[in-house]
């Protein structure tokens, strides 16, 4: 069942579910607010909860609106594309043999069939980024698992719209955004440490922050850098 409430002129969707605690999410692409609540909770309690979080909601909505996304790529020669924070000029070359992506000097070559669609080019690039980050992750994970004292049972890579990483502490699984391959290497370090710390602490509370201080003292600086960098344009 879904209702709607309005607080401070902000419309909020209310979703009732079989859960214990209320939570609020700000959804892409336009910052819609959704409150998920336990089945039996009263409307007053929901309103109280939303009011108590109104400053946070406003801030998150503003972030959404301000976060500039990269313009949609067309995958044509001359575009800039990034790998580990370094900029490369895209050079599209045609081949009937197979798709390939490779770097030579300061150029990134995308080899595709001449009749390939923009979507197929995008997929070839995405798969290449996925390979790059999958090659990089094991060493970084091994290094920081030793420092943090926790290791996941499983890790996976995904192209995500709004998050750099997530952790499921119960399944002991972490997900990393393949777009991290475009950012400077310390961004991957930071996100990995962050997700490993979630194997100790669920929320971003004081305890979480003190673990971060201990295991990755520069985390606040890298976090800021990362949040200033753009996520890809995605539909
Ligand atoms: Zn987190």
Dist CA 10 CA 33 (whole Å): 8
Same domain, 109 and 212: yes
Does residue 235 register a pLDDT over 50?
Answer: no
Does residue 84 register a pLDDT over 70?
Answer: yes
Same domain, 59 and 127: no
pLDDT for the residue numbered 74: 87
Does residue 186 register a pLDDT over 90?
Answer: yes
Distance 216 CA to ligand 1 centre (A): 14
Dist CA 91 CA 89 (whole Å): 6
Distance 190 CA to ligand 1 centre (A): 11
Q: Is residue 74 part of a domain?
A: no
Does residue 68 register a pLDDT over 70?
Answer: no
Q: Domain containing 213: what range?
A: 80-228
Query: b/e per residue, 132-151, with b = 16+ CB within 10 A?
Result: bbeebbeebbeebbeebebe
More confident residue, 30 or 132: 132
Residues 6+ apart with CB under 8 A from 186: 218, 222, 225
10 Å CB burial of residue 102 (0-12, 13-18, 19+) is exposed
Distance 218 CA to ligand 1 centre (A): 16
Distance 193 CA to ligand 1 centre (A): 10
Same domain, 56 and 103: no
Distance 232 CA to ligand 1 centre (A): 20
pLDDT for the residue numbered 69: 55
Distance 136 CA to ligand 1 centre (A): 21
pLDDT for the residue numbered 199: 96
Distance 14 CA to ligand 1 centre (A): 24
Q: Is residue 186 part of a domain?
A: yes
């Amino acid at each position: 069942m879904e209702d709607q409430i309005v607080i401070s002129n902000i419309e909020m969707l209310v979703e009732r579910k079989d859960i214990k605690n209320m939570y609020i999410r700000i959804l892409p692409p336009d910052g819609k607010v959704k409150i998920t609540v336990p089945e039996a909770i009263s409307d007053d309690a929901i309103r109280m909860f939303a009011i108590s979080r109104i400053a946070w909601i406003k801030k998150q909505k503003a972030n959404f609106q301000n976060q500039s996304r990269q313009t949609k790529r067309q995958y044509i020669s001359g575009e800039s594309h990034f790998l580990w924070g370094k900029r490369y000029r895209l050079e599209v070359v045609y081949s009937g043999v197979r798709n390939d992506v490779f770097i030579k000097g300061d150029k990134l070559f995308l080899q595709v069939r001449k009749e390939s669609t923009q979507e197929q080019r995008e997929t070839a690039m995405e798969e290449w980024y996925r390979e790059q980050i999958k090659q990089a992750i094991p060493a970084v994970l091994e290094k920081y698992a030793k420092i943090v004292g926790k290791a996941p049972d499983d890790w996976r890579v995904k192209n995500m719209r709004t998050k750099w990483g997530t952790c499921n502490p119960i399944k002991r699984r972490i997900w990393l955004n393949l777009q991290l391959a475009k950012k400077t290497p310390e961004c991957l370090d930071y996100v990995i440490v962050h997700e490993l710390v979630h194997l100790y602490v669920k929320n971003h509370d004081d305890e979480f922050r003190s673990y971060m201080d201990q295991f990755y003292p520069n985390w606040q600086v890298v976090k800021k850098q990362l949040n200033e960098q753009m996520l890809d344009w995605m539909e």
